[in-house]
Amino acid sequence: MAELNPAKEGGQAEEITEMVCLESDLKEGEMREVEVGSHKVLLVRSEGGYSAVGNLCTHYGATLSKGKTGLMGRAVCECALWEGSCYRMMCRMHAVKIENSKVFVSINKKDLEKTRRVKEMGCRVAGDSSTVLIIGGGPAALVCAETLRQESYGGRIIMATKEELPPYDRTKLSKAMNVKADSILLRQLDFYQSCDIEVWLRREAVSVNTDEKMVTFQDGSVQHYDQLLIATGSRSGF
């Protein structure tokens, strides 16, 4: 049964505390998914104590309880296991207390709100005639374009890529067979339209003239820029 601690009289409950298991349910080094309210939480028993974090990895949302426990009882994400690389530390910890051999976890709804990574996007502003040209269509190019709009840049943003698709998640290519193009797009096309980011597909840049602030493309077309980002990954080809 959940215990709710209202923020103020008549206000919405800010903290939910729930008994999630008995102490004896988890052995040292073990972890499991538990539910507090309707939120999925990863409970880990390690070094004689307990810790609780959201059960979805902050990288790409993999379920942490399907991974392993690693050093100092931290969850090793299965995504990281696939790549044999690092593991991620989850930064938002929930409070855990033990009473009469029962394990209670408290989550703060306001904290959960704060961790949502949603930032408002701006769009083009009339009268701003500047142009940012981004060469490349990978995650670096996308983050640049998005951040500019989030930070109220009101000029023209052009993302020119030689790909046939707008930015997609390359990491998924080595994780599953028969991946459909639509399912790995980092953003749908209407997103770019809604915040006035021009995406030029099949446009390979072949040279940059920094004196003239001009980029030439393989089809012979030329584009002027005020600011240029070369986000072509490890190889630009020019």
Minimum distance from residue 114 beta carbon to ligand FES (Å): 20
CB atoms inside a 10 Å sphere around CB 111 = 14
Smallest distance from ligand FES to CB 224, Å: 39
Minimum CB separation from ligand FAD for residue 168, in Å?
Answer: 8
The token duo for 160 is 């020119």
At which residue do the structure tokens 């989030």 appear?
150
Among 20, 57, 134, 158, binds ligand FES (CB under 6 A): 57
- How many Å apart are CA 68 and CA 209, to the nearest integer? 51
Distance, CA of 44 to CA of 68 (rounded, Å): 10
Stretch binding ligand FES (CB under 6 A), from 1-9, 75-83, 146-154, 209-217:
75-83
Compute the distance between CA of residue 154 and CA of residue 132 in angstroms, rounded to an integer: 10
DSSP 8-class letter at 78: H
Q: What residues form DSSP beta bridges with 168? A: 185
Distance of alpha carbon 232 from alpha carbon 238, whole angstroms: 10
60 binds, among ligand FAD, ligand FES, none (CB under 5 to 8 A by kind): ligand FES
**Rounded distance, CA 193 to CA 159, Å?**
12
- Closest residue (Cβ) to ligand FES? 79
Among 30, 59, 172, 193, the residue binding ligand FES under the rule CB under 6 A is 59
Among 43, 52, 53, 77, binds ligand FES (CB under 6 A): 77
* Residues of this chain that bind ligand FAD (CB under 6 A): 83, 135-141, 160-163, 170-171, 173-174, 204-205, 231-233, 236-238
Binding residues (CB under 6 A) for ligand FES: these are: 57, 59-60, 62, 77, 79-80, 88
